[in-house]
A = this chain, B = another copy of it.
């Protein structure tokens, strides 16, 4: 039993350091003041900000409440992020990077681009499920946050300035990868980037609509089961790119 406990602890530590090396998410350094992945306080900021924003909404979320929630201080959080807007960009970027990673590993041995696009769509819709990236990021909660608040990261007056600094590069790379798959399926399709970004945005939008404004969509969701959204996006893609399913 003592040995068992010891082993468990060891495997946890191993798992953790493996994760940290293997898929440490690398994000634009301009987003943060100090890399939150490099300290337990930083990881706590990420962890609790996901929970708190999801709970109270981005508008009512602030660093004071976050500090209380994690038993730290406002000033300490300000040493990691200039303001809550940049923290949101960090979280959203994390999500984009995570979805990219999911798509990359799940399409590794896949040749058929139609099958690849199915995996892309499945990753958009259920990036929450399967393997978690790290113990401090709850992917399911993060996905919910993206669905409700994600577009606020780039719908601001600072978008051009921040885009110039490369803050949205991970999103553009993700869309670029998906557009590549679309072109593989149909090289004559005129709107690969628009379709790629639309599939991503539509996925989040219609999950949100199903939950809050159901008359704006046809699909239904129940308890984080998004199979109808997935079916719809696959249907749209097949129709637009001209293949049967």
Q: How far is the CB of A234 from chain B (nearest CB, A)?
A: 12
A194 to B221 Cα, complex, angstroms: 14
Inter-subunit contact A160/B212 (CB<8 Å): yes
Query: A57 touching B156 by the CB < 8 A rule?
Result: yes
Contacts of A171 in B (CB 8 A): 213, 216
- From the candidates B163, B218, B240, name the one contacting A212 in the complex (CB within 8 A): B163
In the assembled complex, A159 has its CB within 8 A of some CB on chain B? yes
Please tell me if the beta carbons of B216 and A175 are within 8 angstroms of each other in the complex: yes
A190: B residues at CB distance < 8 A: 218, 232, 235
A136 and B139 CA atoms in complex are apart in Å by 47
Given contacts A198-B202, A236-B240, contact A155 B208 (CB under 8 A): yes
Contact of A172 among B215, B219, B232 (CB under 8 A): B215
Contacts of A159 in B (CB 8 A): 212-213
Contact: A235 with B172, CB < 8 Å? no
7 tightest Cβ-Cβ pairs between the two chains A and B: A57-B157, A197-B216, A172-B215, A191-B218, A159-B212, A194-B217, A193-B218
A-B contact pairs, 7 of them (CB 8 A): A57-B156, A151-B155, A152-B152, A175-B215, A193-B217, A194-B219, A240-B240
